[in-house]
Each structure stands twice: as structure tokens, then as C-alpha cells.
Homo-oligomer: A and B are copies of this chain.
Amino acid sequence: MTTAPRRLHLALHPYGVGGPGQHGLWKDPRVAKNASIDIGYYIRQAQAAEHALFDALFIVDSQFINATYPAHYLNRLEPLTLLSAVATHTSRVGLVGTASSTYNSPFNLARRFASLDHISGGRAGWNVVTSFDTGTAGNFGLDEHLDYATRYGRAREFVEVARGLWDSYEDDAFPADVERGVFLDPTKLHALDHEGEHFKVAGPLNLSRSPQGQPVIFQAGVSEEGRDLAARVAEGIYAPGGTLAQAQEYYADIKRRTAAHGRDPEHIKVFIHGSPVVAATDEAARRREREIHEEDKDLGRSLGLLGRSFGAHDFTRYDLDAPFPDVAHLAEKGGRTTATKIIERARTENLTLRQVAEGLNAYKEGPFTGAPETVADALQHWFEAGTLDGVNLAFRTEEELNLFVDGVVPLLQKRGLFRTAYEADTLRGHLGLPVPENRHTAARA
């Protein structure tokens, strides 16, 4: 038996303008000011990703904008309508949309992903989040964001229900036999009758299975509860990355936890975030990286980002040069992991608010910045060091995406690290994930 060589997976994470880490992007004359609501922009990005043989396009989301710091999710398209429009202008690239299990209902969301999965011919993925922004609660009639246990318990049950609904029809449910006059074989259509702690859902869904069986489940939470959810149900992770050592620890931890749940650790693909800056020489790339940093630097924005980890807390009300305020009680509901780290660091290093805020957005040399050879080397190194199965790539402009695609991708291909042609039509196929057998067909066998 020969095993296929382990290959790197690449996804594109297009921001539009005004996205996280791209505060100053709108000032760039090469970027349309309305990119984040221009479907043409996303279609072009998806086509570029497909042209480059990437595994997927990855769309993040929040159902909340903070009036005192609105820039983060200011004016952007809803992920599923966006991806559905992109689907019919591409034929291979996977389409992963973020949606919250906290502020959606399973029947509706399962149906929308199943619909996208059909429209795309089996290329849909769902990044399950529990909503980082605690202020989201206010848009859904709640006084307070649900706590961790409830949100993650709900997430687990939500995915279970969605998968049950996605199996409503067995693959041979539609004989469409004119002679016998039988369109549907009703014995192949199954209600769900789920009654759990958080949800009660009768089913069946009114959508059959797509060519990949079910949408691919991604996850993007870093807390203990988030990792546990991933290990149980996710087939892909959008991971934070960090230093090489941090990424190694995270990667090993996830694979270990997944195996502990009796799952094949190969069936969960860890993508870390990467923002490669590619130029003709290493020096030019570092110069560009510094330039981007200068464009984005903005204390108001850093305070806003900081507030995001503390329930959209308004940090502008404090003295910037006094010690970091006592906001530990605000860290409980959303983004606890990040918030806790911030508080910890402020305490041990005795930092002021200004220092914390500026530190969040301090200039750091990225691991994937340099000439094409350098970036390819770094990716190979991280890949072989057991930090990642894939990288979720973000670029400032279409030009910078092209520098990566034309410069780095061919090197990865020459080294056997990346595909030279699509070998599959579905997202599961690209990621080497099995098509889950329909549970009712399996039970019958």
C-alpha cells in the first residue's frame, strides 16, 4: 500500500475593506472603497483562488457591529448569500462560510448550507463559531451573551442536528421512475425527531444530499471548550497560529484530542492564519510589511480591537497612561482566552492601557514575508514542523495575492508540497476527507 504524499492546503481569506488587520486598506488607491459589498470583488478573488488551485475561499463573519468601534464588520455581505453568488462563477474551489451556532436556528442554517452545497456541486463548508462579539446578544433580543458552557453545548448539539437533517434523504430516495409512477421512495426519507438539551427539531429537511454528502465542518475557537468542540465534530480548523512553538503545541493538542474521541486525526485539517508579504527581495518585502503596519496604525482602532475581547467595552473612557484598568469581570462571556492573556500580560509586565493597546498592534515580523524562495521555505518549514495542514491566506490587494500565486505557489508545486491540478470536484475531495455515509443507509446495511 502506498500513501499519497502529505500535501499543503491553501485557502484564501478575502477581507474586502475595513476588515480585521486591514484598517488602512481603504486608503490604498488600488482597492475599491466599496470592496466589502461588491460581489464582483469576491467573485474575482474566488476565481483567482481557483486559478491558483487553492482548496477554498474562507469568509469570516459577525452579526454585530459596535457603534463606538464599527470598523470591524462595517458594511459587509452576509456569508451565505455571498458564497452562493460566487459558487456559480467557479467550479472547483471550496466555499467556507462562517455562521454562529448561538444566533441561528439549526433547521434554517442546515437548509441554507445544504442549499449552498447543491448550488456549488458539493463545495460548501461551515465554519461554526459561537459568536466572539458579546454584543451580538442585543441584536437577538437577549440582555446578555450566553455563557461558554451554554454556547459550546449548543454548538455541539447544533452540529449534531444539522448533520441529522443533512441525512434526511438517502442517496437513492428519488427513483423518478415514470413507468411505476414513483418519484420519491418514501421509505428513503427520514424525519429526525431530535429532542435535546437545546433544540427540538422534527425534520425532515427539504433538501437531499449533495455530491460531497454533507458540508464540511470547520471550527474557530481557541478556548478549552472550543478545542473540545473541534476535536469532536470539526473536519477543519481555522487556528490562530502565533509563534512556531505555539502552533506546534496547538496542532499536537488538536490531533491528540481528536484521536481521543476515536476519530482519525487525519480527518481534521488545521489551517493557520497567514498574511504573506511577497516581493522581489527579502528587504523589499520587509519594507512593504513595515509600510502596511504604518498604514494600519491607529490608537482608536487598537482600543476598539481591545474592547472586542471584553464585550465591546469602551476603553476610550480611561486614562491611557494609567495602569491597565481592572476589566477581568468583562472577560467571562466572549473571547475569554484572549482577554485572559491580555490581563495576565498587563499585570506581569505592569503595562498602561496605551502600552497594552499599542502592543496589540505592534510591528511584528511575519513568518511568511520575503522573496518567493524565502516564503516557500518558511511554509515548508512550518508544514514539516507539525504546525499546520493548511494556511488561510490573507492579502492586502489583488496584486499581492498575485505575487504569492505567481512566485510562491510554483515553488511549492516543484517541491511536491502543493497540487499541480485539482484532483477532485468537491471540498471534501480537496481536503482528503471521506464522504460520510448516510446514517439511515448505514443502519440498513
Contact = CB atoms under 8 A, between A and B. Distances in A.
Given A65-B204, A67-B186, 14 more contacts: A18-B183, A37-B207, A39-B87, A67-B191, A70-B206, A77-B207, A78-B115, A80-B80, A80-B84, A82-B84, A107-B139, A107-B140, A138-B201, A141-B200
Copies in the complex: 2
Given A62-B206, A112-B78, A115-B77, A176 B85 contact: no
A431 to B, nearest CB: 22
Contacts of A17: 183
B77 A189 contact: no
Contact of A115 (B62, B82, B103): B82
B115 A108 contact: no
Given A76-B206, A107-B63, A141-B200, A178 B27 contact: yes
Interface of A: 17-18, 26-27, 33-34, 37, 39, 43, 62-65, 67, 70-71, 73-78, 80-82, 84-85, 87-89, 103-105, 107-108, 111-112, 114-116, 118-119, 135, 138-141, 169, 174, 176, 178, 181, 183-184, 186, 189, 191, 199-204, 206-208
22 contacts: A17-B183, A33-B183, A39-B88, A43-B88, A67-B191, A70-B206, A74-B184, A74-B206, A78-B114, A78-B115, A78-B207, A80-B80, A82-B115, A84-B85, A85-B85, A88-B88, A103-B108, A104-B108, A105-B140, A135-B202, A141-B199, A141-B200
Q: Which 8 A-B pairs rank lowest in CB-CB distance, beginning with the nearest? A: A138-B202, A78-B115, A81-B84, A84-B84, A81-B115, A33-B176, A107-B139, A141-B200
A18 to B, nearest CB: 7
B80 A119 contact: no
A131 to B, nearest CB: 12
A136 to B, nearest CB: 9
